[in-house]
Homo-oligomer: A and B are copies of this chain.
Amino acid sequence: MQRVLRMGIAVNQPEQSLSALKPFMPASDVSLAIRAAFLDLIGDPFYEKEQECVRYIPDGLLIVENGVIQEFGSYEALQSRYGSLPITAYPGKLVLPGLIDTHIHYPQMEMIAAYGEQLLEWLNKYTFPTEAKFKDITYARHMAAQFLDELLKNGTTTALVFAAVFPESVDAFFEEASRRNLRMIAGKVMMDRNAPNYLRDTAEQSYLDTKALIQKWHKRGRLLYAITPRFAVTSSESQLELAGKLRQEFPDVYLHTHLSENVNEVALVAKLFPHRQGYLDVYDQAGLVGERSVFAHGVQLTDAEFQRLSAAKAAIACCPTSNLFLGSGLFKFHCAKSRQHPVKLGLGTDVGGGSSFSLLRTIHEAYLVAQLQGRPLSPFQSLFLATLGGAEALCLTDKLGNFTVGKEADFIVVDPQATPLLRLRNPHVPAASIEHLADQLFAVMTLGDDRVIQATYVAGSLAYQG
């Protein structure tokens, strides 16, 4: 039996004053103690030696208070101090930080796995008609609830999310995210051209709507806002400029858009912006490229563009299932993670262009993309991208990404033997060494899906149980 557990937090409260904003709203003030094998990353295995980045505690204890990690270490070292707490034990399981999805569209859930098209045709044929439904806030709430349940079921605890063009779609999403006490980042799509009338806003209206939504939702509980022009094709230059103005007015708000996904798209942007030096330059000239900017895809980026992203400390959300499914191409991990010009990099499922809600499936297809280029990702590199790397891409390493004391207690319980095949492949748990762990983790990433997620905890509360 699987169930998603709702926390009893009041939602859709009237506007809060700024002084009422807290770092986040704890689910409860009850302490929690988890005993299990724990694995997290404390460094970047693309740049540092793996043994220095990987923290593996085969018999560990995690103490959570008020939704925050209070203590973390080996059971042996901590048991004397926390012996009086009731302990939830997960023998034979592996506890990981909650997975972070750095690019996904919640209104596209129902049109996942749409057949046969590449990006621009796919948008017109499937995406736009579906997104039109999200003007209805009741429908949007219903879908947002299912969407978040699916994320939790797949072990994803934080996501950077496209809503639809309608402000109602953002309200619905944040209401449901707030009800689950999730750290979520989302925004209203800005889109004033090259789209059907029923989905278009105007530059001015998108500015006003976005501003109102930022004031309503940014930093409310665990929620954060992202200014969200869809992509250069569907935004006029003035809309992009107003997006840039919003970034100046709200410097701690995110910028989230698409960049250089598909060859035809890049050609179309060049045609629409002949006075710019390239796709990234379109955003750059509008003041959209900076530390809190997250660009989805980047499959077609030039070396110069990778360098500019690196210099600006901007991030890429790499979406392999989508890039393969839509035939966009192979993301160059080695360019993003170069030593000379490192770019912050996270993984995105990009549902509905992506074919799965699971970051494990996404990691599997990231492996395929890298293997086809003769540069396989290591299991710990992949885990980094889906946890600490994702937190880095979202400028949230102070709050998320591993079990460091003081961070928010979002974590998942993984069963390396969740299916008969996985039991055969991973006969001995917990792993006895880092090498053994790498092998088991890789099998989980290759063969696993939502079934390996036995439990998902959000801010120290059990939010999903498989």
Contacts and interface: CB of A to CB of B under 8 A. Distances in A.
The 6 closest A-B pairs by CB, nearest first: A327-B371, A113-B446, A324-B368, A113-B443, A115-B442, A116-B376
A372 interface: yes
Interface string A376-403: 1011000000000000000000000000
Contact residues of A: prevailing secondary structure: helix
Interface-central residue, A109, A330, A367, by most chain B CB under 10 Å: A367
A425 B371 contact: no
A424 interface: yes
A119 to B, nearest CB: 11
Interface-central residue, A357, A368, A420, by most chain B CB under 10 Å: A368
Nearest to A372: B327
Interface string A90-118: 00000000000000000001111101101
Contacts of A368: 324-325, 327, 365, 368
A291 interface: no
A420 B116 contact: no
Contact of A379 (B115, B357, B371): B115
B324 A371 contact: yes
Contacts of A373: 327
Contacts of A379: 115
Interface string A308-340: 000000000000000011110110000000000
A265 interface: no
A305 interface: no
A325 B447 contact: no
